[in-house]
Structure 1
Amino acid sequence: MLRPTLIITFLVFTLQSAHAAEPIRLGLNYPSTGNYKSEGLELRRGALLAVDQINQSGGLLGRRLELVSLNSAARAEKARANVDRFANQGAAMIFGGANSEEALSAGQRARELGLLYFPTLGYANEITGRDGHRHLFRESNSAWMSARVLGEYLSWHMPNRRYHYISLDDAWGNSMEQALREATKSRDRARHGYSKIAARGARRDDYLSALQKAAASDADVLVIVLLGQDLVQTMRLAHTLELGKRMQIIAPNLTQSIVEQAGPLVMENVIGTEAWTWRVPQREKSETGQAFVERYIALHQAYPGSTAASAYGIVRQWADAVGRAGRLDSEAVIAELENHRYSLLKDEQYWRDFDHQNVQSIYAVRVRDRSEIMQDRFKQDYFTIIHRMDGEEAAPSLDDWQQERGDQLQLQ
């Protein structure tokens, strides 16, 4: 009489054990081809390091993490389609991307499927502003935040200058140019000229024409609002034209991989912003940040950049929130993330509840002279931090955010 009961009990236990043994999958949208493939490599390295550390510490909810990576090629439609593929594979969370269009499109699809999405290299204000929603959390800084720290530095050290803008004609390019014009009081487009670069299909002649227009202006400051290979090619042409000798060049969102691709000689003295560099943990006295740097160096014989740090931080923060919630349910994780304060790779950060923007200190940086860079052991010590702004000061206020949102004053 007991045998059927024992068999049923054994089957239930076996099924539960099999389920518990299944890994928790995380979906990484990353560009392994195209203009942003170098950033994509950094994204994957940072994410894998976090996954490995969590697994070595016993996993999450008694299960291992598994990173599932798909090439987005930095295309919004491809990133969106990948979200469906991740969902079909049972991903519990999705993150990544190399531009704002990816973040907006993939984030919206994740919302429709009830999944959380964490953009990495998406800086457009719309991501956590006009188009923000409950299922999207942005770890990287916004265009507004970059503009605030740059605007303050430039107003102190280079006041009353004439600007010229070369901007990508997409969500990030337009919001970055607008925010920086506001921050530097260069709103007058007749006095402070501009050129637009097509978001897709731009050619060498397009970059050259825009630079020649800048060269013919009376500008003291040239702002190049481009990313990836667009920025690399434009900087190489600007170097050939020797524009850096008579203009201060600003590239608002710099990354380590950009300097590597363009070359330190081409990028000398360019000013931009970073949310993190490999020297920040030492500056902010962050032991966990320094441990991350050392582990990354040991694995790759290179310094981690802000792109790797962002991916690493997202995985760690999501996993911590799941651990506090005790389950993978998106609503439970959202509740644990909102207004959660933490210190991981630098000083204190937190996920703001009303817009899901990560509020953190932002740094204005200058690319060091090539002669200094070449003395470094990896020849990768690219940035000097020239200014710092607290996250609360850099991020838009609740009033600013509500003005951008219009009638929709809460995340849906």
Structure 2
Amino acid sequence: MVAARTVMCYLLCGTRLFQQSMRNTLTNVLIYMQADMEITTAAKGSMLAAIATGYFFTQVPGGALADKLGSKNVMTLALFLSAICCILVPTAGDHFGLSGMWVVMALMGAVQGPMFPTSSVFLSKWMPKPAPGEPDEKAWGTSMLDIGISIGSLLIIPTVTTLADALGWRNAFRCVGFASLGFVALWVFLAASSPQECWFISQEERTFLDERLSKPAAKSQKAAITAAGGAAASTWIGMPYGVALHSGLWAVYGCHMAFNFGAYYLTNWSPTYYKDVLGMSPHEAKYHLMLPHVTNLVAKTLTPALIALLARQGFSLLASRKAFTVSGYLAASLSLAVVHSTRGMNPWVPTALFSMANAFFGLAPSGFKSNYLDITEEYVGVIAGYGNTLGTVSSVIGPKITAWTLIQTDQNWNIVLGTVCFVNLLAAFNYSRCAVVTPLEQLVGEGKAE
């Protein structure tokens, strides 16, 4: 019998698959939309930033709601409303032009905003602490979360391209939206916010998880910490100031911002790069655009085996988190740094480099993203909400910076790619120095720096 927590991780994978599919539909139909509308480079940058703009405002409250109302309820509402927005995007475009589409895409981002912090809360209720000699289920669960993103990013390219060719770009949006509503029904039937709420979990697994899941501090302990005041006391930002300012937290946040700046560049701008620089139509570039997502998916699938290998070699949990994060960012940066210099070669050469970069970005779920579940037991939703909000800042300004740079430098893609490399190298350096795996509320309460 499949463990209930395994089913929950597969369901969570599905939520991210459909979220990413809805999010990336615009990226893949922009070329088709140009046949109906005049879309400048600046307009592309603005449209690609629309979802991230809406995403920015709802993540912290979404994480707090997941802590209080249950992650299943928040996820259900977010997915349902996102699907409705996806269905309405072309209608908004027909009646109000690009401005109308931008507003609906931003609304889609706003209702999707709670999904990352809610996913972190969901995993914290289901994934047990790793024991010596046993698999790190937290890293596996986080990998499943990102595998959903990779599968969605991969499948949406041929799906939307085929739909747009056969039915038009408007119906491509609608088909993706209705398919997402179908998954919402499955989620409602099977998902549970915690083992106690699951209708098909075995008693044996429930007992195991009750013994092994991280337990937040008791109310009496929280009251004592609050009464003590200082860095460990509760604050209006939803966590103690000492936790909010800890270098270990900002090591994770810095990596998250760099990840969104780099990995989402590949997703958002690759279709434009292949058309404008390599001279390939969407149909010709289809498999080139898919390959980086394939390599990213393969990397994420292999990470559990790599985690086990490092554990057998004596790597501590902290050393493992650093190894995945730092090596992934370094190798991705090196791959991207030389992409544009190969533009005169066979198109499969830059595709291979893009694919290598995205494969190395695929190590992130077992690095800094898993670290979200290490650094707190008390403030999972709030910390994840702030982290993804900061990551969203990169998602908002990244497309705009890229568009502005291309306009100001006469389409100099070397500068664009160089900026991505620099940001990721800086984040890797900071993470190597400051990352921690002990809950920050414990470190702050004990007065330790790390």
Q: What is the TM-score when the length of structure 1 is the normalising length? A: 0.29
Q: Which has the higher strand share?
A: 1
Q: What is the TM-score when the length of structure 2 is the normalising length? A: 0.27
Highest RCO, 1 vs 2 (Cα 8 Å, sep ≥ 6): 2
Q: Which has the higher helix share?
A: 2
